[in-house]
Amino acid sequence: MPLKLLLQLSWRNLWRHRRRNGILVLAIALAVTGVMLMNTLMRGMAAGMREAVIDNLTGHVKVIHPGYMADPGIGRGFEPQEGWEQALADVPVAGWAQRVRVPAVIMSERETRGVQLVGVDPAQEAISFLGSLSVEGEALSGAEDRRIVIGATLAEQLETSVGRRLVIMTQGADGLNREAGYRIAGTYDTDSNALERVFVFTGAQTVARLLDSPAVTEVSLRLESGDDIPLALAELNAVFEDLDVKAWQDLEPQVASMVLVADFSLYIMYFVIMGALVFGLVNALATAVMERVRELGMLRALGMRPRSVVAQVVVESTLVMTAGVVAGLALAIGCFVPFADGIDLSAFSETMELMGVRNTFTPRLEVADMVTVFLLSLVLGVLASLYPARRAVKVTPLDAMRR
Amino acid sequence: MAAADIAQAPPVANSAGTGSVGMGLYMRVAWRNLWRNGRRTWLTAGGIAFSVFLCVAFMSFQLGSYDGMIDTATGMMSGHMQVQHEDYLDDPKVANRIVAGSDLLRELEDSPDIVAAAARVEGFALVSVGERSFGGLVMGVDPVREPKVSALSGQIVEGEYLPRADSAYVGKALGTNLGLKIGDEIFVLGSALEGGVAAAVFNVDGFFDTGQVELDRSILQVPLSAVQSAFGLGDSVHRIVLMGKNANDATAIAQGLAPTLPEEVRVLDWDKLLPELRQMIQMDAVTSVIVYVLLLAIVTLSVANSFTMTVFERTREFGMLVAIGMKPGGIVAMIVIEALCMWVVGTAIGAAVSYALMIGLGAVGVPIAGLEDMAGQFMMPERIHPEVSFLTLGTAPVVLLAGTLVAGLIPALRVRRLKPVEALREEE
């Protein structure tokens, strides 16, 4: 049977029961909208977490000493050879930064706290949250700046302020304790109090002088796109032979597993909700077949092939499904657009902080996910039509005439 | 065919004539009508069963995991409640203390709602051994009382838990960073109460490993009195950690305790001590409610669809019933009872399977394999025990009961507009 005739027949059959099929399309649309909107939230959450860890001094890829994770300190530092970055000519890199990052104790006249002392070259830090930091007072002027910038929360805890001095104590390259006083150039404020409590920044050369070592503890790279991570890993491994080159997924496995959960949840949500829907779809299709026993029997008597009968039911099912999915996707886009720029979630700030996400939350509607939902629905539509189609094929001209 | 079925039920003909039909009869007729199209009934009831099963299973797991999370998180360090100086939570400095801590501790221990209580003193200090040093939180605890309010003593991997007055119980990661082994001497240096230097020497007698590196790298526990004297605190303490019988009672107990406390001292329940925990639960609950609402709405729609088809097909039959004297209201009642029966069949299946499964799993618990990383980070317990309660088992059936009745009623109301003559003329 030509496809055009098949479509025409199916279309008219559906139109014969507007109310019933209307309810079906509505239910499918509702299900698809719900699944897609939940998915935009999950995707947004995952992307937010990923961006946050990449910003928080991790970058896409980091080079560290193999022992640094277990025993962070300048003893686990290294000196990158001059011109190492030329090895990355083939990789689209957004930027890189060399840092010295060591645990330290910071003391004011009144309080003592444990922090991470990070020596940076501000010119390289456009790749991290440092690049876009809002600083009260002054930011660091360069790698040789001898002042420090601390978090606003830490400043409060230490009962100190811009312009005053703090003492920093840490272990030098020889394992001996070093201590020195530094003036506070400025205090920074971020969405995350945890960051503010932990990171104390100063010029890279200042830390080198304190620790008595020219070594750095990490080289962090931000790529143009996360898709280039494997390429960057391969190139960097060739340059830094004795060191660990790690992607952010290895450095922050918890966040990476959350991103995976988001991928996974689309399918779980889809099958849970669409599973409930399939019962209704099969029901309506089977009813439509049983109502048409006479008609189908006559068509068979006139010479319609069983194949065409099956095709007709499958096409009907697919048409209903397509109509529902298209309406659902359109509705989801409609609901998404007003929130595309972000939702203020400061009410949940502590959790967001725990999960490493910022206060404004940007949902993400991904075309790939919409395509996935659409294709899954087509498959489901065909599967749902199998049982009704089998019933339809079983109708013989004799059955029909007995009615 | 439909008319023949009805005719086989003689009581209908008889009582319809008298105009009063008993409830039992309605039930019987509705039940038979339901099975005139067994396939449709099974499919619709199957949809109900499917969604009852999913809702019950999801809700049990979800609420079960919340309880597990709360127990794990509060049991680690914070306890169900804490009594603190009113400024200590926001500004945990040595001076924000509870003076005369031991008297208050004894008073609180005597309170009937409190199962266990322990006092702590905390101060940030430089921990050094030889030439190496690290910053850490020195926590003075009561070696006897502390294990009753915190799981930390149970996370021991080597040595003993504070056997002597100068023992230290150190995080494994901190020990590694400082190159410590059992028996080593460590020096602790911090800022004392009056701005002076707090210094003390301890012997490493045990190591703990919680799996959370940040915690293992930053904490050491030592006996309470040693920290009190080193920091010049006398009898003062910073926290009195309290455990009730159940974490869920914490808020009520805290409210009861509040008026009995001295000035400048307040009691905080875990809600305030671990705000991120409550928010995480709320956020998770909101997103799951969306799923439940969707699932139940979709099943209700599919039941409605099923009854729309049923009512449409039986126009002729209804016309006949009205023609022989049955009131349209009676037909509406019959359809609604059919919907009710549909609900009974679907819910019975869904509930039987899910209740058996949840009660069984609730008893043994389900290990969360492969997610240990996340479990540590998000304060999840190692096993989830699905919660078996009226809320988890009852919500889906009750909501669907309402949904099914509405789904049956709306198409049934069309019957009131039925004109018997036209209906009888309709093609079967």
Which letter does DSSP use for residue A57 in this model? Answer: I
Q: Nearest Cβ partner of B43 from A20, A107, A279?
A: A279
Section B242-270 average pLDDT = 89
Strand partners, B170: B207, B220
Q: Residue A48 and residue B421: Cα distance in Å, rounded? A: 66
pLDDT of residue A277: 87
Instruction: Provide, rounded to the nearest whole percent, the portion of chain A with pLDDT above 70.
Output: 96
Assign B190 to helix, strand or coil. Answer: strand
Which letter does DSSP use for residue B88 in this model? Answer: T
- Look at the alpha carbons of B151, B154, B159, B165 in this order and tell me if their dihedral is positive or negative: positive
- pLDDT above 50 for B7: no
- Over its C-alpha atoms, chain A yields an Rg (Å, rounded) of 31
Q: Residue B186 and residue B201: Cα distance in Å, rounded? A: 6
- pLDDT above 90 for A371: yes
Instruction: List, as ranges, residues 325-364 from B with C-beta within 8 Å of A.
Output: none
pLDDT of residue A185: 93
**What digits encode the pLDDT tens for the residues A256-271?**
877 787 778 888 888 8
pLDDT of residue B3: 43
- What is the distance between the terminal CA atoms of chain A, rounded to a whole angstrom? 27
Q: Residue A82 and residue B327: Cα distance in Å, rounded? A: 96
Which letter does DSSP use for residue B74 in this model? Answer: I
Flag if A276 and B276 touch (Cβ within 8 Å): no
Buried/exposed B292-322: b ≥16 CB within 10 Å, e otherwise: bebbbbbbbbbbbbbbbbbbbbbbbbbbbbb
Given CB atoms, is B420 within the 8 Å cutoff of chain A?
A: no
Residues of A in contact with B131 (CB under 8 A): 171, 175-177
Q: Nearest Cβ partner of B302 from A27, A73, A287?
A: A27
Instruction: List, as ranges, residues 246-305 from B with C-beta within 8 Å of A.
Output: 275-276, 279-280, 282-283, 287, 290-291, 294-295, 297-299, 301-302, 304-305
**What digits encode the pLDDT tens for the residues B340-361?**
999 999 999 999 999 999 988 8
Q: Residue B178 and residue B12: Cα distance in Å, rounded? A: 90
Residues of B in contact with A287 (CB under 8 A): 40, 309
pLDDT of residue B375: 52
CA nearest to B67, candidates B207, B210, B248, B195: B248
Cβ(A276)–Cβ(B302) under 8 Å? yes
Flag if A38 and B276 touch (Cβ within 8 Å): no
Which amino acid appears at position B318 of this protein?
A: F
User: CA-nearest residue of chain A to B280?
Assistant: A351
- pLDDT above 70 for B83: yes
| Dihedral, CA of residue B153, residue B159, residue B160 and residue B163, to nearest 10 | -130
> How many Å is the maximal CA-CA distance in chain A?
102
Neighbours of A53 (CB within 10 A): 21
Given 3-state DSSP classes, what are the helix, strand and coil percentages for chain A, each rounded to the nearest 5? Answer: 60, 20, 20
Assign A226 to helix, strand or coil. Answer: helix
- Look at the alpha carbons of B176, B181, B182, B188 in this order and tell me if their dihedral is positive or negative: negative
- pLDDT above 60 for A114: yes
Task: Please tell me the distance in Å from A109's CA to the nearest CA on chain B.
Answer: 8
Instruction: List, as ranges, residues 211-240 from B with C-beta within 8 Å of A.
Output: 218
Section B258-282 average pLDDT = 86
Q: Which residues contact B39 (CB under 8 A, 6 or more apart)?
A: A286
Q: Residue for token digits 């007055």? A: B165
pLDDT of residue A168: 92
Cβ(B202)–Cβ(B104) under 8 Å? no
Assign B92 to helix, strand or coil. Answer: coil
- What is the distance between the terminal CA atoms of chain B, rounded to a whole angstrom? 9
Total residues belonging to chain A: 403
Q: What's the Cα-to-Cα distance from A298 to each of A154, A241, A389, A400, B164, rounded to whole Å?
A: 84, 78, 17, 7, 96
- pLDDT above 80 for A375: yes
Q: What count of Cα atoms within 13 Å lies in the side-chain half-sphere of residue A234?
A: 6
Flag if A280 and B305 touch (Cβ within 8 Å): yes
Of the listed ranges A158-162, A167-171, B197-201, B367-371, the one predicted with least confidence: B367-371
Flag if B93 and A27 touch (Cβ within 8 Å): no
Phi, psi of B214 (to 5 degrees): -60, -40
State the count of interchain CB pairs (< 8 A) between A and B.
Answer: 158
**What digits encode the pLDDT tens for the residues A325-366?**
999 999 999 988 888 877 776 666 666 555 555 566 788 888
CA nearest to B93, candidates A113, A189, A166: A113
Q: A14 or B120: which carries more pLDDT confidence?
A: B120
Tokens of A53: 């860890």
Q: What angle do CA A21, A27, A29 make, to 5 degrees?
A: 100
Q: Which of A28, A105, A153, A391 to mutate to test the interface with B (most CBs of B within 10 A)?
A: A105
Instruction: Provide, rounded to the nearest whole percent, the portion of chain B with pLDDT above 70.
Output: 91
Task: Please tell me the distance in Å from A92's CA to the nearest CA on chain B.
Answer: 32
Average pLDDT along chain B? 84
pLDDT of residue B11: 44
- pLDDT above 60 for B6: no
**What digits encode the pLDDT tens for the residues B319-343?**
888 888 888 888 888 899 999 999 9
Given CB atoms, is B159 within the 8 Å cutoff of chain A?
A: no
